[in-house]
Amino acid sequence: MKIDKKRAFDIVFSVLSLILFSPVLILIAILIKLDSKGPIFFKQIRVGKNMKDFHLVKFRTMKMVQSNNSLLTIGNRDDRITKVGYWLRKYKLDELPQLLNVLKGQMSCVGPRPEVRKYVNLYNEEQRYVLSVKPGITDWASVEFCNENELLKHAENPEAYYIERIIPAKIKQNMRYIRKNDMLTDFKIIWLTINRIVIN
């Protein structure tokens, strides 16, 4: 079976990253268990390529008992976030388990971030074009909206702001990626993502 260059890169990158970061992954798992009750991982149904649902995997960063069931996280000091979760979110370390999604072929290292069904159902026909490619761990929108939680924090109506302002802006960047993507672009996005995280 022929594997394209992007898929080959995804496999090699995710395997090497999982091996390289294995001590960090183990340490994070221990800290999560010590910090609060609940599972190490958090799974959420997201919409992938061709509108197919899949379970996206993250390190759990929120308390299990929640009075607020919003899908959006408002600010980095959202009272649902655990102490360890705050730091995991700040440096995007909670996203590392998605390398497993990449290995399974559900995601790519670079591609439009997968959204939850609730918001995908609001897409118009043109916007649904972003679902024609495999979703990714990072993309142009991730670079632009690295501090998305803080933007929502200052919005009068966070969910309305997310639907009316952020989603269209993200999709515009998604379209930009779909129109022009190659390995050089992927490397550039990964590099810019790391830089944004480090200086955040």
How confident is residue 131, by pLDDT bands cut at 50, 70 and 90? very high
Q: Which tens digits make up the pLDDT trace of 152-172? A: 877 888 889 899 999 999 999
Q: Which tens digits make up the pLDDT trace of 38-93? A: 999 999 999 999 999 999 999 999 998 655 556 666 655 678 899 999 999 989 99
SS3 43: strand
Distance, CA of 9 to CA of 23 (rounded, Å): 23
Q: Which of 124, 58, 52 lies closest to 92 in space, CA to CA?
A: 58
Distance, CA of 188 to CA of 160 (rounded, Å): 32
Tokens (6 digits) for 128: 């649904």
Q: β-strand 41-47 against 136-138: which pairing, if any? A: unpaired
Total-model pTM: 0.89
